[in-house]
Structure 1
Amino acid sequence: MDEPNRKQRRAMAAAERRGTRSKPSQTPPQGKVAIPRRGDIMTFEWEGMALGLRCTDVAPDWSEGVVDVQFTPLEDTIHPVPLAFPAPLTEFATDGGRAISHHWEKLTYMFALLDPADFPVLPLVAEDRESMEYFIRTCRELAGYSVINDDHGLLVSLDGADWKVEAQLPTKETFAGTAVAFRQLHSGQEEASFDKVKGRLFQAIKRLPEESQAAAHEVVTQWARARAELMNQTLSTLVSRKVSNASQDNPVSFHGVRPDELIATYNYGGTIHFGKQRQALVDLTKDPTLSAYYSYACIASIAGLSYLYFGFATLLEAALGMQIRTQLTDGRSITGTLDR
């Protein structure tokens, strides 16, 4: 990836689609000021923070001494991505499923997961069913939370010689409620978490006819691999690396952020418990710039994993025998849920 070597080249970056107005010179550049060109991929990097961007438009106005530059987050340049199956749990969203569908395009681009509604019905014991049904209910509730449905983003600007970072974030109350619900799905200490439910699936698969076990086992393993990747890098980071062919050393968006660790820092630094992560959270939020960046990164980490869990909930519905699918005459299909 190309990295800028001057502040003027970086100009003004935003994690949402936004324009910028930069004042690098009173006269057109003549080899002295680096101005991005349309299509350039660049990195906005400072104090350990990073955003990957693609320049989509440049409009100099030298009479005013400014350059208008339009950037798009690198991870958003992949859209639209055709979905292999309907985005899961959109019927429980409050925005018509827009956010879930948008992020499922990214998940599709990264992981090419198989349709979870096609997973076979499994021979499950009562305790298995109880845990899986709780996971499904929690996902359905979380799919309607504002943190999952509302727009959040970063705005990075140059104020004189100083970079300024602002974030559109949920309220502290809203974030705390989301963190508690998400923990039910995410923490291995919870009885209906992804890890615990996955283990129950593997045990139930062993009770299938031998010829059916390998395919079902591979499907669950595929979902587990995707989850492991999202624990170690944000969805934005993964997509940015893939679309730009960037190596692990390239500082693409949220380079170095480990979602599992960051979420734990916020949860146990004061959001849920005032525990052993409290000093780590103080360090991450010691000034407004760091606080905006890492708070947004935490929200993005929770959301990225949540969207994956919604798909896994659909897989659990199929394993429980709760899915029905109606084939339409034009070849399309409608998948519905039979509530118990």
Structure 2
Amino acid sequence: MKSIFVVGSTGFLGREALEVVKLLGENYKVVGITGFNNLEILSEQIRSFLPKYVGASTKILDSLKEMFEKAYIFDVENELEQVLEDASPDLTLFLSSKITSLRSIYNQISNEHFVGIGNKESIIAGGEILFSDQARKFIIPIDSEPSAIFQCLRGERKDEIRNLILTASGGPFFDRNKTTFDDIKKEEALKHPKWKMGRKITIDSSTLINKAFEVIEAHFLFNVPYEKIKVVIHRESVVHSIVEFEDGIMKAILSLPLMYFPLEFAITYPNRINSGLPQLNLNSLKRLTFEEMDLDKFPGFNIVLDYAKKGGNFLPVIIALDEVLVESFLNNRIKYTEIYTHLEKILEKFTFKRITSIDEV
């Protein structure tokens, strides 16, 4: 039986991960989950999966301890590292969008324990510290596009890669006139045409800042230089990424645009198991299209990449600033376009500093 520990189980990805585990059946066991303040969802998950370890914020710890005497209830902000060491799961899924899990990710990898990472924020913020050739052996990406690249590269040689090609749906505003972007409301930005995701990543996808994050993620995950990582617009969201090899041959991963698939791949890796997820029917596809990005319409993409390439403290700073700016937009404090214009103005004020440890992040 494969033991699974889900960090961030009450979020969008966490809930879908638990659904996948349920579909996979008795050969997979959830031994631990963590949420934060969502007592209702966390309680439902405890009743459904009976995990031995449950992490939450101090705000709801006492309530959980009263309700579930048999589980080990712990403070997720201060005890996660020790609990993961004690639990020693076969796979830990890091699915929270916060970088607070960075040290736990680092420790799990250092101890040669497999981790599935759907938390691109930690990969980017700690990328210069987390990754070595040895560490990469224990990391399974869960973002759809990096997961597709990971799958395409199985059995292939790194020195034969010409390009990694990430696909992007273009988001809800691909066809919208740029002159109207100041008027975009959060309700519009939260309506992604293809993917069902959490609020922050949906906003980041609409600005294409999320795609810049995925380029950085791919750079660290696969140790490929930025100039070999390309992005194309693929409106159908069926081809999730492509690897182009030196001989001109390309490999791609196709599936329905559902996060269940990269989650299932990570949970069952290195095997492939049919859990009953809906399957792609090629006969139903009318066409597959690919287009260039409009970088003038979506300047956030290059703003993020230009500063990310500087490395050092710019990596965690970009993550922190974007989180604050997206939250400000969602709370109606700034305009949609100010997400990336403010990001650039603030980044211009920072000077480079090398990051040498997890603590510095």
TM-score bracket for the superposition, by shorter chain length: under 0.3
TM-score (normalizing by structure 2): 0.22
Larger radius of gyration: 1
Q: Which has the higher contact order (CA 8 A, sep 6+)?
A: 1
